[in-house]
Structure 1
Amino acid sequence: MTYTIDRMISDAGIDDVDARARKALADHGFGVLTEIDVKATMKKKLDVDMSAYRILGACNPKMAHQAIGIEPRVGAMLPCNVILRETEGGVEVSAVDPVASMQAIANAELTAIAGQVRDMLTKAVAAI
């Protein structure tokens, strides 16, 4: 099983893909709670140069509330991270597959919610 939902975008730069990703996530019920500019962090902390790499922490409040109600410690695995990574072929978008990330928790109700979130994220990634 793969652990990400992926899409390569070759017709836009990182900033445009970032804006498109945020819109697609919002259109599919997700807000971006956190963002990490990994490139800037690596330069600042390690003085290492790398291609653009951003992590967006996306959350659907309704689904998160349901999951936390079923498994209170599941918050340690939230939000759903979406990365935007500059490559030679364009910008790769990869969202965590919630079903794969929840496999460590033996709870059928949680697995069902993770499946719904996966469907929502898959549609959001496809819309970018």
Structure 2
Amino acid sequence: MFHYTVETTMSIQDAASVLEDVLKEQKFGVLWQFNVKEKLQEKGLEFNEDYLILEVCNPQEAKEVLSINKRIGYFLPCKIVLYREGGVTKIGMPKPTEFIKLIEDERLHNKAKEIEQRLMACLEKSANVMQ
């Protein structure tokens, strides 16, 4: 599966706030929070579901992987999405190890796996804070 998703009973905004704090512990910062609902409504489009896309980055890790292969920039920064489905908030991300397969550079596999595991742990910790 190309993605990893966890569930929480928190609202999207509460989950995003907790996630941001947990990401900081791993030296990842939220560069941008894109509120899809607000942006689409601003453009006159009907979209009534809360949906956030966070772009997150760890500068040290980004520098390291870009120094190995500049094409990794096609997949930076990492994205994490938050949305409601079935009465729960879902927090998910595409797996970095899947993106690395597209670049076909084995030098990046271990680093992608490490970053993926750290981000997955952040998602899990965030989802379980208030459960």
Confirm or deny a common fold (TM above 0.5): yes
Specify the alignment match of 1:124 in structure 2: 122
Shift of 1:46: 4.4
Specify the alignment match of 1:58 in structure 2: 56
* In 2: Cα distance, 1:46 partner to 1:115 partner: 41
Q: How does 1:6-85 map to 2 (within 5 A)?
A: 6-10=5-9, 12-85=10-83
Specify the alignment match of 2:2 in structure 1: 3
* Matching residue within 104, 107, 111 for 1:106: 104
Q: After TM superposition, what 4+ stretches of structure 1 lie above 4 angstroms from structure 2?
A: none
Shift of 1:39: 0.8
**Contact residue 51 and residue 87 of structure 1 kept, 8 A:** no
- TM-score, normalisation: structure 2: 0.90
Paired letter, 1:15:
Q
Residues 28-66 of structure 1 show CA distances to partners (whole Å, capped at 9, x for unaligned) of 221111221011111122421231000000111111111
* In 2: Cα distance, 1:50 partner to 1:65 partner: 38
Paired letter, 1:110:
L
**Contact residue 7 and residue 126 of structure 1 kept, 8 A:** yes
**Contact residue 4 and residue 97 of structure 1 kept, 8 A:** yes
Identify the range of structure 1 (40-49 vs 59-68) with the bigger mean alpha-carbon deviation.
40-49
Residue-pair matches, total: 126
* In 1: Cα distance, 2:89 partner to 2:63 partner: 32
- TM-score, normalisation: structure 1: 0.92
**Contact residue 71 and residue 103 of structure 2 kept, 8 A:** no
* In 2: Cα distance, 1:67 partner to 1:99 partner: 13
Q: Which runs of 5+ in 1 are unaligned?
A: none
